[in-house]
Amino acid sequence: MEPDWTELGKRLVAAVGADEGLDEALAAAFGQPAGPFTASVESSRALAAAALPDWRLHLGYGVSGMFPYALLSNATTRIMSDAPTVPLAILRSLVAAKACPAPSSPPPT
């Protein structure tokens, strides 16, 4: 059964820091062993790399310098999310990318 990416995204938007219950839900959704995804930059980056191997991850801080953002991109899609912490920004973009429908192919010429 396909994970409910929308519900998982809502939980990530509501999160403000480390959350073991959310970590367990992420592990189940991505078929990975449990880990401290919401608390660890290394763990959240590893999850993103495993789930979206052909995507690039860029991390930074917004204009105010207060909140981090994560940009996930591939040849056709760019998804950016900000959050109170770097791991949550990564995870918000990751779940948004999984929820995003695959772009349709251009018509043959």
36-90 pLDDT, tens digit per residue, is 999 999 999 999 999 999 999 999 998 888 899 999 999 999 999 999 999 999 9
The structure tokens 């207060």 sit at 66
Whether residue 97 is predicted with pLDDT greater than 80 in this model: the reply is yes
For residues 91 and 97, what is the distance between their CA atoms, to the nearest angstrom? Answer: 10
**Residue 85: predicted pLDDT:** 97
3-state secondary structure of 19: coil
What radius of gyration, in Å, describes the C-alpha atoms of the chain? 14
| Among the listed residues 80, 76, 27, the one whose alpha carbon sits nearest the alpha carbon of residue 54 | 76
For residues 85 and 66, what is the distance between their CA atoms, to the nearest angstrom? Answer: 10
**What global pTM score does this model have?**
0.90
For residues 11 and 24, what is the distance between their CA atoms, to the nearest angstrom? Answer: 12
- The DSSP 8-state label assigned to residue 81 in this structure reads E
What domains lie within the chain, and their CATH numbers? 5-99 (3.30.2120)
60-71 pLDDT, tens digit per residue, is 998 888 899 999
Q: What DSSP string describes 27-76?
A: HHHHT-----TTT-HHHHHHHHHHH-TT-EEEEEE-TTSSSEEEEEE-SS
Banded model confidence at residue 33, pLDDT cuts 50, 70, 90: very high
